[in-house]
Amino acid sequence: MIPQTVQWAGDAVKMIDQTKLPHKLVMVEYHDWHDVAASITDMVVRGAPAIGGTAACGLALAGRQIAEAGGEFMPQFLHACEVFAATRPTAVNLFWAIERMKGVALKAPSASEASRLLRVESELVLEEDIAINRKLGFYGQELLPDPCRVQTHCNAGALACVGYGTALGVFRAAREAGKQIKVYADETRPRLQGMQLTGWELIEDGFEVTIITDNMAASLQSRGEVDAVVVGADRIAMNGDTANKVGTFGLAVISNYHHVPFYIAAPLSTFDQKLADGSGIPIEERTHREVSHIQDVQIAPNGAKFWNPGFDVTPAALIAGIITEQGVLRPPYTQSIMQAIKGAK
């Protein structure tokens, strides 16, 4: 079984080192909150809900370290919040987790109480993530026929969350409901999360998985090989526009052309209530080395220029449904998203 992606081990934050997969399953333990923040920047841990869970644990660790060291608690804690907020820009779950932890610290009567309550809250964030994914998986699996050939992009699995997964959680729930599921995984250049992470976790879990390079998606769908597409999300605007791993938008266009339903699976913590549409979503620009090199070997000619956005925004009009823990949201999203958020309160 795949270990929980992010967890507590005594006073340390423990996680799967995703940079080592699929070749080695290595667990790392961090005793200093600065290292937990660095694990997000360095993509030891990645995927929107996993980043949120990691930030919650990292801030709980910060709370303990600050309380033990003494001095005024809140200014030091707010500094730690800023460090976490600067790790990666696109996944809103990071900022959601920071705000949640900040709220706990602000209400605490003393540094030692803040430290204790932050730890409790971080454990709650981890537990809730798995419960939410199981719930959205249950709603999502009802959309899939039996048997079903599904396609996904990047990794929106147990590795991208605390456990179970969002898009891959839907596939797991479908299998648990007795359905026969075959998965096509896009390799997801430039960092290959689809091949290395989705491929690994689905094989570990006994799924039949076929890996394709990203540019094969149109050919595959034109042959009638895909019944549905389910992907995750890093940030969803209030009109349903959805940021996810770069290449998702292209896959949505291909799916719509072929009349293959294109679904997003995400917890409500992925909705950005401050954004009316996707135009304001910050898109992470990453190093050109991820494009020019594959596993440290340069594959591009010297002298070329590169562009490497980590994410793209799929317009709501291309999305057949958004699978959440409150059920499957349908267009018009401005209304269904508001209702789901109200229903969750």
What residues are annotated to the active site? 234
The burial class, CB within 10 Å (0-12 / 13-18 / 19+), for 296 is exposed
DSSP letters spanning 100-125: HHHHHHHH-SSHHHHHHHHHHHHHHH
Q: Tell me how far, at minimum, the Cβ of 329 lies from ligand MRU, in Å.
A: 16
Contact present, 208 and 274 (Cβ < 8 Å): no
Cβ-based nearer residue to ligand MRU, 117 or 162: 162
Fill in the DSSP letter of residue 212: E
Taking the complex as a whole, how short is the minimal distance between the CB of residue 76 and ligand MRU, in angstroms? 28
Supply the minimum distance, in Å, between the C-beta of residue 267 and ligand MRU: 8
Please report how close the Cβ of residue 71 comes to ligand MRU at its closest, in angstroms: 34
DSSP state, 229? E
Strand partners, 262: 229
Nearest alpha-carbon partner for 4 in 105, 138, 133, 90? 133
3-state DSSP assignment of residue 24? coil
Amino acid at the residue 248: T
Question: What residue ranges bind ligand MRU (CB under 6 A)?
Answer: 46-49, 91, 154, 156, 160-161, 166, 193, 232-234, 244-245, 310
Cβ-closest residue to ligand MRU?
232
Nearer to ligand MRU, 64 or 245 (CB): 245
Per-residue CA distances from 73 to 55, 65, 99, 200 (Å): 18, 10, 17, 42
Of 115 and 193, nearer to ligand MRU (C-beta) is 193
Residue 173's closest CA among 149, 141, 204? 141
CB of 232 to ligand MRU, least distance (A): 3
Residue whose CB is less far from ligand MRU, 73 or 249: 249
User: For ligand MRU, which is the closer residue by CB, 91 or 226?
Assistant: 91
Per DSSP, the residues of 184-197 read EEE--TTTTHIIII
For ligand MRU, the closer of residues 46 and 149 by Cβ is 46
Cα(123)–Cα(129) distance, rounded to whole angstroms?
10
